[in-house]
Amino acid sequence: MRSGAVVQAGDIPADHITGGAAVRTLLDSGSGGPGLIRRLVDVPSGSRLSGAAGAAGELWFVIDGSASLDLRGHASLQLIRDRGVWIPAGAAYALQAGDGADLRLDVVVLPDAADGARQGITPARDPARPLTSDLQDCQVETTGDRKFRVLFGPDRGCSVATQFVGEIPPGRAGDHSHPYDELVLILDGVGVAHIGGADHALAAGTCLHLPPGLRHCLENNGSQTLRVLGVFHPADSPAAKLAPDA
Q: pLDDT tens across 107-137, in order?
A: 999 997 554 443 444 444 577 899 999 999 9
Of residues 234 and 17, more confidently modeled: 234
Across the range 72-93, mean pLDDT stands at 94
Q: H-type helices in 31-170, by residue range?
A: 113-118
Residue 151 and residue 137 in contact, taking contact as beta carbons nearer than 8 Å: no
Q: What is the mean pLDDT of the chain?
A: 89
Domain final residue pick, 115, 133, 151: 133
152 and 124, same structural domain? no
Decide if 3 is inside a domain. Answer: no
Residue 45 and residue 65 in contact, taking contact as beta carbons nearer than 8 Å: yes
58 and 30, same structural domain? yes
Decide if 238 is inside a domain. Answer: no
Backbone angles phi, psi at 5, to 5 degrees: -160, 155
Decide if 185 is inside a domain. Answer: yes
Structural domains of the chain, count: 2
Decide if 241 is inside a domain. Answer: no
Residue 52 has a CB neighbour count (10 Å cut-off) of 14
pLDDT for position 190: 97
17 and 117, same structural domain? yes
Does the pLDDT at position 36 exceed 50?
yes
125 and 22, same structural domain? yes
DSSP, residue by residue, 40-68: EEEE-TT-EEEEE--TT-EEEEEEE--EE
Residue 165 and residue 81 in contact, taking contact as beta carbons nearer than 8 Å: no
The CATH code of the domain that includes 22 is: 2.60.120.10
Q: Which amino acid is at 191?
A: G
Domain final residue pick, 88, 110, 133: 133
Residue 11 has a CB neighbour count (10 Å cut-off) of 9
Q: pLDDT tens across 140-167, in order?
A: 999 888 999 999 998 899 999 999 999 9
Across the range 168-195, mean pLDDT stands at 93
Residue 32's pLDDT band (boundaries 50, 70, 90)? Answer: low
Distances (CA, A) of 27 to 109, 190, 195, 218: 11, 20, 16, 18
Decide if 194 is inside a domain. Answer: yes
Whole-model pTM?
0.92
165 and 129, same structural domain? no
pLDDT for position 243: 63
Residue 137 has a CB neighbour count (10 Å cut-off) of 11
Q: Domain residues for 187?
A: 135-233
